[in-house]
Amino acid sequence: MIKKISSKYFTSDWLKDLSDINSPNWTKGIGIIKDRFESRYFNPIDLILNSSGTKIKYTCGFLVMSIDCLLIETLNQFYLGLYTSEERYYRRNPDINYKKNEQAFRDFFKHSTFFPDFKDENMSNIFYKEIRCGLLHQAQSKTNSLINIKETKMVALLDSKDPSKGLIINRNLFHTALKYEFNKYLNDLESPTNVNIFGENLREKCNRKMIGLCS
């Protein structure tokens, strides 16, 4: 069945010869990825962040961070060629009790150069539990964690001596970093030889993810 995969493209637009990492169709393929993420997520968020209505512009932090968390997990699936975040860890480590979505965030932050404060796995884990899980399951951050635009850093501990008290996230800085990361991913796809953090070809993994979305 043919269905839309972005504002401009359909499944039939992707199902060409993109299994060949050297195919000239990858120029169009990268354009499809760009249109999918921008038309469905980044452009609507930009409209909210740039709204002339202050009640919208200054109270949208939970919405922006919720979508950003969704995009982190999705973008990590593109990097690794996964249908779901669970797939890699079930396949490679069937006897280990991973928290698979939490690992997806650690993988993403490890890969990215735009989230230096999250290279510390402890900070990544706190973000996952306090922000991602709080927003997903309760539509709010957990414990005392805050989402605002006042914090001078992208992320800071509420109490430097007690990480369990939560985080402060500057959602504008965080969202900007995510856009930088996405644009870097598009640039990395320009070369047929670029690989992910596990040494796997980025185009092959991107195609595997897209085939899953198109099927």
Q: Please write the tens of the pLDDT for every residue from 79-124.
A: 999 887 766 554 555 544 446 788 889 989 988 999 999 988 899 9
In a domain, 3, yes or no: no
Which H or E run contains 66? Answer: helix 61-80
pLDDT confidence of residue 97: 44
Q: For residue 81, count other CB atoms closer than 10 A to its CB.
A: 22
In a domain, 86, yes or no: yes
Beta bridge partners of 148: 170
In a domain, 1, yes or no: no
How far, in Å, CA of 76 to CA of 79, rounded? 5
In a domain, 178, yes or no: yes
Domain that holds residue 188: 11-214
The reported pTM is 0.91
Q: Where are the alpha helices (DSSP H) in the chain?
A: 11-14, 26-37, 43-49, 54-57, 61-80, 86-92, 100-111, 121-127, 133-138, 171-189, 202-214
pLDDT confidence of residue 198: 87
CB 48 within 8 A of CB 18: no
In a domain, 168, yes or no: yes
Number of independent structural domains in the chain = 1
Q: From first to last of the 215 residues of the chain, give the pLDDT tens digit.
A: 778 999 999 999 997 779 999 999 999 999 999 999 999 999 999 999 999 998 888 899 999 999 999 999 999 999 999 887 766 554 555 544 446 788 889 989 988 999 999 988 899 999 999 999 999 999 999 989 999 999 999 999 999 888 889 999 999 999 999 999 999 999 999 999 999 988 999 999 999 999 999 88
Which H or E run contains 199? Answer: none
CB 212 within 8 A of CB 83: yes
How far, in Å, CA of 61 to CA of 11, rounded? 33
Tokens of 45: 């968020």
In a domain, 52, yes or no: yes
In a domain, 6, yes or no: no
pLDDT confidence of residue 55: 86
SS3 content of the chain, % helix, strand, coil (to 5): 60, 5, 35
CB 71 within 8 A of CB 101: no
In a domain, 119, yes or no: yes
Q: For residue 130, count other CB atoms closer than 10 A to its CB.
A: 23
Q: Name the residue among 63, 34, 70 with its Cα closest to residue 46.
A: 63
